[in-house]
Amino acid sequence: MTIAADVRSPRRFLAPDLARGFMLLFIAVANSHYFLQNAPALGGFPRETTGLDAVLVGLIATLVDGRAYPLFAALFGYGLVEIYRRRLTAAGKDPDRATRKDVSRAQWRPIRRLIRRRSLWMVAIGFLHGILLYVGDILAAYGLLAFLVVPALRWKSRTLVILAALAFALTSLPTGDSLTVESSVGRDPAMLPGSIWAGVVERAPALLVLVPLYPIGLVFPFLIGILAARARLLECPDRRLVLLRRVAIAGVGTAVAGGLPIALVLAGVVNEPAGPILSRLGTLHDATGHFGGLGYAAAIALLAYRITSRSNAERGRVVAAITAAGERSMTCYLAQSAVWTLAFAPYALDLTPQLSVTTVAALAIGTWLATVFLADWMRRHNRRGPFEVLLRKLTYRNGRNDRNEGGNRSGPGERAARGDRSVGGPYPARAADGGRIAGEAASGTTSSGLPEPLAGTDQMSEPPSGPVNP
């Protein structure tokens, strides 16, 4: 997701990119099993599974489905805060001290315009992706969410907490429409159209309904991401190690406890309960998935903190490759959809009848590994992801020198935000009156180098995937 900074820019914070890189694996696994549509299914899994297939169904339903998208939504909110901070810094304000009253309408308007312009292009790219490749597109939903909720960047933290709690309560109400317990028989023409044109005809109306609905399930983690960015949890995990450990343990534990009941049903370990009970189990699975996504984010932040204390040579090729995928997550996400089309479309290889839960999971893992290798190749050749570059060009095409996030003036605050100086340690030192920004520049990890969520900010690339279980 590196759009604001050059690929060879000073060192970026590791945690957001590493988290996105890992979560792209979860997205691939979560999306791929929805293509197994040759037999009656429940929650996207064949109803009758045994052996290794049944074990994988239980693991995927408990640990993967509905857990990756909340993480991306949180990173999305986190990254938008970084855009806001950079713009304030370019205007000569301390982003950590500036209140809503300190930012005039004239200063806020170009920030809002920049984010909304980017958001609309995300909607356009996501809609095309959904029509041509994969009806479960999530890019358009992220773009719509950012377009509508951009004022939240200026709201008080207490207001965000209240709204996040209300959003969670609303989306946790049993509705009976959870994908986790959705029954299906035979092929869905929107997922597996008979031709490219048939895909356009089937998917366009579906997306017009789905895209406005998806953001509802993303509001809670999105607002939590804004709060986390204000506390700089990913930039400075060393200051919140106890909190991060608690969130990691409680979040993942809650997701496992909430996902296990329906996982046992999907795996055939226990009999399928009556409709109302099944619906409640699906709602429990989806609601606790939000905490699982946040728990994974905290766990990866702790891992990144340990890795950051090492030298670049000690971090190893694997960490660099996964991080490179996170930096180019939009490109990697769209590449996954290209593989699904090639593998499953009836007018392509049409592998659906030949694959099982196990083999489709292996395909998903192989696809993720291929995108990691591709991203690492781009990293080693100093190339950004092509779709990250496209989004940046579209976003700034009509902006007057928005590329520097601060117009034509180049004051001390803007130079610091761009990281004109680079030496030093892994985390910026806290200081008053913009000292933190200068510290970031001195450390070689600038705010403008901080990765942004799935398609959401200046490093953008994020992306998620299929019949979505937010």
Q: What is the pLDDT of residues 347-405, one digit of tens each?
A: 999 999 999 999 999 999 999 999 999 999 999 999 999 999 999 999 987 655 454 44
Handedness of CA 204, 208, 210, 215 (dihedral sign): positive
Task: Give per-residue burial for 323-352: e unless 16+ CB within 10 Å, then b.
Answer: bbbbbbbbbbbbbbbebbbebbbeeeeeeb
- Angle at which helices 312-327 and 329-344 cross, to 10°: 60
Neighbours of 427 (CB within 10 A): 19
pLDDT of residue 455 exceeding 60: no
pLDDT of residue 454 exceeding 80: no
Percentage with pLDDT > 90 across the chain: 61
Q: What is the pLDDT of residues 101-117, one digit of tens each?
A: 777 788 888 889 999 99
**Which is nearest to 298 in space by CA: 362, 355, 252, 359?**
252
Token pair for residue 169?
């309560």
pLDDT of residue 187 exceeding 50: yes
pLDDT for 85 = 87
**Strand 41-42 with 45-46, pairing:** antiparallel
pLDDT for 330 = 96
**Which is nearest to 308 in space by CA: 445, 446, 451?**
445
pLDDT for 313 = 56
pLDDT for 97 = 67
Q: What is the pTM assigned to this prediction?
A: 0.83
Q: What is the pLDDT of residues 266-303, one digit of tens each?
A: 999 999 998 889 999 999 999 999 999 999 999 999 99
- Measured CA to CA, the distance from residue 399 to residue 8 in angstroms comes to 24
DSSP 47-84: SS--HHHHHHHHHHHHHTTTTHHHHHHHHHHHHHHHHH
Token pair for residue 459?
């490093």
pLDDT of residue 7 exceeding 50: no
4 compared with 98, residue with greater pLDDT: 98
pLDDT of residue 443 exceeding 60: no
Helix (H, G, I), strand (E, B) or coil at 383: coil
The residue extents of the domains of the chain are 14-449
Task: Read off the pLDDT of each residue in 435-446 and give the average, rounded to a whole number.
Answer: 34
**Which is nearest to 100 in space by CA: 184, 183, 157?**
157
- Measured CA to CA, the distance from residue 407 to residue 428 in angstroms comes to 25
- Angle at which helices 357-380 and 51-63 cross, to 10°: 50
- Measured CA to CA, the distance from residue 440 to residue 270 in angstroms comes to 54
pLDDT for 174 = 81
Q: Mean pLDDT over all residues of the chain?
A: 82
